[in-house]
């Protein structure tokens, strides 16, 4: 997988980091005013998938592990949150915590088994285990099989703020998204993140320096699964729905596509990729063009022409000019 | 001298790869504080022995003891934590990290700054003084902020040694530290190895026999996976079997 994953890993000039910071601020300001111009549910869908893609990117972009089973954490958390809010009557923030904890637990099991193998074998084990989880979701009574969990109440945040108000829901999702992205940014730029990068760069060398690389990989895997779960649980609250779509292998493929399109190993790439894919899906479904064909075509063009993804190519161009 | 105070011993070390015996019944005893060379013609099993000693390969049979402790089944990261640290034949740096960051990665674990995912990476700046000191010792101080991929081959090897020394290992295993180097680099690295060997033990695989003659206290010659001869360089190079093994391939 090394060839796929270390595309955008160059060290960047400091001026570019400052530019990235200002662009993030501008993007945040836009997100604050956006719901007054654009349909909030559409924006929330983008934010949920963007957080999902960022969580996935934590693993593929900064540890070099290509998981093909992240739908299990995303969709699994959606079920856990939906069930605890609807059936147990818990408040949304507790429901989200349960979703995150469940996804982290699943991540611990899947990661523990998968990190023992490298490259494509790692990906195949994650795929196989997530398919097993899909089957559990199909059969278990609490998921209601093909129907899914419908009519999930959004409830009152901390028992006070009613999330049935679209703007309250939107700003809750925005805060969750920002918190999730900041958490990822912190992990990547921490002493732990530094070791993750070293492992991605040269695993045998990291071992020879005394690092138990399996533990670092597992730690990153669980963190990525938990954050994917945060995205999935949030989506269940937004759409008041948890279904099999979110645990299916196509969802694992979709998040890979989003991350690849936007730029693996960049902070903004997965957000851009998710926004692009979700927007295309929304508009194309109205026009009647088969979505998957077009997205497939875009994917091929992306892989052939700009392998670093949209943000990855931009960063590459800017950092070359800065030198 | 050999058996007086061994830091590392291997007894009956054997490694088979699907019926092919790469290393056969090798006995080694590395004296504490010495510089010990493993030499032999291509394909003699030097690197395999090296990988067995550092636990990057599991032996098919035989035992390895480090300071009296059986490490035959110990995992490589644990061996490194015990103070037995290796380098690699192909230069092992973290290519996209800067020279300074390469050394900081090695310093993070001993300093307890490796698992903290909630703190800013800026706490690692406290490692800079020590890292710069180590890089000064290998003449890399002027390359601190250059990505490791962009420095010359000889300097990468020097960086690798600085990174390894950051762990302050008791036993250093160097896999062909001079491979592919020019004369000036060889002299510089040889001087460096002599300097670092003052208070630690060094085992090295090396092709360059003049370096071995110059540096090493003791030499083990391998041929077809077996120990052919062992002794000082003068003893070994006078051995007719060793001369025969090297005939036509390298001078002896």
Exposed / middle / buried, residue A146 (Cβ in 10 Å: 0-12, 13-18, 19+): exposed
**Please, what's the largest Cα pairwise distance for chain A?**
59
In a 10 Å sphere around its CB, with 0-12 CB exposed, 13-18 middle and 19+ buried, how is residue B131 labelled? Answer: buried
**pLDDT score of B247:** 62
Question: For residue A228, which of A53, A2, A90 has the smallest C-alpha distance?
Answer: A53
pLDDT at position A119, please? Answer: 85
Q: Any bridge partners for residue B29, and if so which?
A: B9
Instruction: Specify the pLDDT at position B4.
Output: 58
Say which CATH architecture domain A2-322 belongs to: Orthogonal Bundle (1.10)
- How many Å lie between the alpha carbon of B55 and the closest alpha carbon of chain A? 10
Q: What is the pLDDT of residue B249?
A: 52
Q: Quote the CA–CA distance of B239 and B252 in Å, as a whole number.
A: 10
- Rounded to a whole number of angstroms, the distance from the CA of A215 to the nearest CA of chain B is 10
Q: In chain B, what are the domain boundaries? A: 1-83+171-252, 92-168
Cβ of B39: how many Cβ atoms within 10 Å?
A: 29
Beta carbons within 8 Å of B105's beta carbon, 6+ residues apart:
A194, A195, A198, A206, A209, B94, B97, B163
Contacting A with CB below 8 Å, chain B residues are 54, 56, 75-78, 80-81, 85-88, 92-98, 101, 104-106, 108-109, 113-121, 123-124, 147, 163-164, 167
Domain spans of chain A?
2-322
Q: Nearest C-alpha of chain B: how many angstroms from A245?
A: 33
- One DSSP character per residue, chain B reads -TTTSEEEEEEEEEEEETTEEEEEEEEEEEETT-EEEEE-STTSSHHHHHHHHTTSS--SEEEEEETTEE-TT--HHHHHHHTEEE--SS----TTSBHHHHHHHHHHTTTT-SS--SS-GGGGGGGHHHHHHHHHHTT-GGGTTSBGGGS-HHHHHHHHHHHHHTT--SEEEEESTTTT--HHHHHHHHHHHHHHGGGSEEEEE-S-HHHHHHH-SEEEEEETTEEEEEE-HHHHHH-HHHHHHHTTTS--
Which A-chain residues 168-197 have CB contacts (< 8 A) with chain B?
A: 186-187, 189-195, 197
Measured between alpha carbons, how far is B148 from B59 in angstroms, rounded to an integer?
Answer: 33
Q: Which residues of chain A have pLDDT under 70?
A: 1-14, 322-323
Q: What does the alpha-carbon distance between residue A54 and residue A308 come to, in Å, rounded to a whole number?
A: 16
Closest CA to A82 of A101, A73, A95, A100: A95
| Strands B35-39 and B201-205, sheet pairing | parallel
CATH code reported for the domain at B1-83+171-252: 3.40.50.300
A-chain residues near B97 (CB < 8 A): 11, 197-198, 201
pLDDT of residue A303: 78
Q: Which residues of A230-247 are buried (b: 16+ CB within 10 A; e: fewer)?
A: bbbbbbbbbbbbbbbebb
Which of B81, B113, B147 has its CB closest to that of A191? B113
A191, A202, A203, A219: best to mutate for the B interface, most B CBs within 10 A: A191
> Is the separation of the CB atoms in B9 and B30 below 8 Å?
yes
The pLDDT tens digits of the residues spanning B60-114 come to 999 999 998 999 999 989 999 999 998 887 768 999 899 999 999 999 988 888 8
CB within 8 Å: B95 and A186: no
Q: How far apart are CA A38 and CA A165, in angstroms?
A: 15
- Closest CA of chain B from A189, distance in Å: 5
3-state SS assignment for residue A210: coil
Q: Helical H runs in chain A?
A: 2-5, 14-33, 40-62, 71-86, 92-114, 119-139, 166-188, 191-201, 203-208, 213-239, 249-262, 269-287, 291-305, 309-322
A259/A270 Cα distance (integer angstroms): 4
pLDDT reported for residue A12: 57
Contact yes or no for A206/A53 (Cβ under 8 A):
no
Residue whose entry in the numeric block shows the structure tokens 């800026």: B122
* Confidence tier at B2 by pLDDT (50, 70, 90): very low
Do the Cβ atoms of B64 and B39 come closer than 8 Å?
Answer: no
**CA distances (Å), A136 to each of A12, A114, A127, A191, A244, in order?**
44, 19, 14, 38, 11
ipTM: 0.83
Across-strand partners of B65? Answer: B9, B70
User: Could you give the CA distance from residue A252 to residue A116 in angstroms, rounded to a whole number?
Assistant: 21
pLDDT of residue A94: 93
Of A193, A198, A201, the CB nearest to B117: A193
Helix (H) or strand (E) holding A162: strand A161-162
Structure tokens at A48: 């949920």
Q: Express each pLDDT in B24-52 by its tens digit.
A: 899 999 999 899 999 888 888 888 998 89
Across the interface, whether the CB atoms of B87 and A11 are under 8 A apart is answered no
């Amino acid at each position: 997988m090394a060839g796929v994953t270390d595309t955008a890993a160059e060290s960047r000039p400091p001026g570019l980091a400052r530019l990235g910071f200002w662009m993030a601020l501008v993007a945040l300001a836009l997100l604050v005013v956006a719901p007054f111009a654009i349909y909030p549910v559409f924006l929330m869908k983008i934010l949920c998938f963007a957080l999902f893609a960022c969580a996935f990117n934590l693993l593929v972009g900064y540890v070099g592990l290509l998981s093909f089973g992240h739908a299990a954490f995303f969709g699994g958390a959606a079920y856990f949150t939906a069930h605890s809010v609807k059936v147990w009557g818990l408040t949304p923030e507790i429901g989200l915590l349960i979703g995150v904890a469940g996804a982290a637990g699943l991540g611990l099991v899947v990661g523990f088994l998968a990190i023992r193998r490298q490259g494509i074998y790692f990906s195949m084990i994650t795929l196989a285990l997530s398919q097993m989880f899909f089957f559990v979701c199909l059969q278990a009574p609490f998921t209601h099989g093909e129907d899914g969990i419908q009519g999930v109440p959004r409830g009152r945040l901390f028992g006070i703020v009613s999330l049935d108000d679209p703007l309250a829901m939107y700003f809750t999702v925005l805060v969750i998204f920002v918190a999730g992205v900041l958490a990822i940014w912190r992990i990547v730029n921490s002493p732990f993140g530094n070791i993750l990068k070293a492992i991605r760069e040269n695993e045998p060398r990291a071992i020879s320096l005394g690092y138990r690389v399996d533990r670092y990989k597992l730690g990153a895997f669980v963190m990525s699964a938990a954050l994917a779960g945060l995205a999935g649980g949030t989506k269940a609250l937004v759409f008041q729905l948890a279904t099999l779509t979110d645990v299916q292998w196509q969802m694992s493929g979709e998040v890979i596509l989003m991350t690849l399109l936007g730029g693996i190993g960049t902070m903004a790439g997965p957000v851009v990729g998710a926004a692009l894919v979700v927007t295309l899906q929304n508009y194309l479904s109205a026009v009647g063009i088969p979505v998957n064909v077009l997205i497939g075509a875009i994917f091929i063009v992306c892989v052939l022409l700009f392998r670093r993804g949209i943000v990855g190519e931009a960063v590459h161009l800017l950092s070359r000019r800065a030198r | 001298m050999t058996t007086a105070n061994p830091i590392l011993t291997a007894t009956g070390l054997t490694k088979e790869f699907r019926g092919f015996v790469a290393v056969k019944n090798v006995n080694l005893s590395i004296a504490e504080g010495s510089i010990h060379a493993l030499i032999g013609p291509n394909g003699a099993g030097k690197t395999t022995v090296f990988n067995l000693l550092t636990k990057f390969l599991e032996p098919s049979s035989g035992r390895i003891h480090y300071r009296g402790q059986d490490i035959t089944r110990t995992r490589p990261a644990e061996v490194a934590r015990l103070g037995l640290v290796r380098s690699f034949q192909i230069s092992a740096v973290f290519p996209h990290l800067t020279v300074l960051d390469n050394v900081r990665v090695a310093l993070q674990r001993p300093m307890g700054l490796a698992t903290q995912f909630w703190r800013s990476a800026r706490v690692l700046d406290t490692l800079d003084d020590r890292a710069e000191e180590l890089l000064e010792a290998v003449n890399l101080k002027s390359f601190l902020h250059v990505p490791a991929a962009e420095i010359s081959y000889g300097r990468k090897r020097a960086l690798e040694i600085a990174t390894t020394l950051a762990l302050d290992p008791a036993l250093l295993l160097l896999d062909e530290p001079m491979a592919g180097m020019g004369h000036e680099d060889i002299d510089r690295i040889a001087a460096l190895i002599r300097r670092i060997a003052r208070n630690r033990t060094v085992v090295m695989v090396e092709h360059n026999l003049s370096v071995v003659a110059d540096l090493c206290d003791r030499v083990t010659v391998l041929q077809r996976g077996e120990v052919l001869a062992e002794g000082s360089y003068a003893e070994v190079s006078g051995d007719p079997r060793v001369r025969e093994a090297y005939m036509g391939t390298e001078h002896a």
